[in-house]
Amino acid sequence: MILALGIFAPEVKPIIDQMHVIESGEILGRSYSRGVIGNNEVVACSGFVGKVETAFVTQKLIDCFQPRLALLLSGAAALDKSLNPGDLVIGTEFEEYDTFFPLSQDKMSIKAPDNLVMRFLKIYFKDGKFGKIISGDGVVYSAEERDRIASSHRALALDMDSAAFAKMAHENNQSFVVIKTILDMADENTQRDFDRNFPIFCGKPARLMVELMKTHYIDR
C-alpha cells in the first residue's frame, strides 16, 4: 500500500480523482480515501500544518494502514535562487532549521531512502531538482530572514512539514519520498505569491505520481 499525504486537500485531489475508491473515512478528524490506481493500492489524506501535526498524523496513518511507501506531496518556498514557482523539488535530505539539539555536534538530518521511486525519478525526471529540504514552524515573510536561514543550511527549499514527515517515516523503518512544488520565494511577497501560485501548481507533485502509478507498480 502507498500512503499519499498533502498538507491541503487540493494537493492530493489529483490522486483521489484518478483513484478507483473502495473506502472513505476519517482519522483524527481528517478525511481519507483508499483505492486503486493502476496496480497500486493507495490511501490519500490531507489536513495538517506544522511539524507537530505532521508528525502525529503521519504516525497514526502508518499505524492504521501499514504502507510500504509513504509520499508527501505538497508546496514549499524556494531558498535556492535558481528555483521558480512551479518547479519540483525532490528531497534527498531533511533538517529542522528552528530546533537546537544541545547534545549533538552536528545538525540532525535524515537522508531519503534509495527506493524504487527515487531511482526512477533520478533517471527519468530530468526537470526535477534534487536536494535538501529544511523545515520550521513558521512562514518566512522576509528576504532577510530567508537569507539568514539559507546561510546556515545548504538547502533548496523550506517548508513546515518535510523534516517531521521524514523523521516519522525513518523511525518506523518506512520507505518514503517527498516531492515539493515551489509556491513562493520566502520574501516580502510570500502571501501574494502563495495565493496566486497555489491554485496553479499545488497538484503538480500528485499529478507526477499519478502518471507513475498508472504505468508502474511502485507499491514495494
Q: Point out the residues that are catalytic.
A: 11, 184
Tracing cell 519520498 back to the chain, one arrives at 177
Backbone angles phi, psi at 181, to 5 degrees: -105, 135
Cα–Cα dist 16/210, whole Å = 10
Helix (H) or strand (E) holding 166: helix 162-171
CA 40 to chain centre: 19
203 class by beta-carbon count within 10 Å (0-12 exposed, 13-18 middle, 19+ buried) = buried
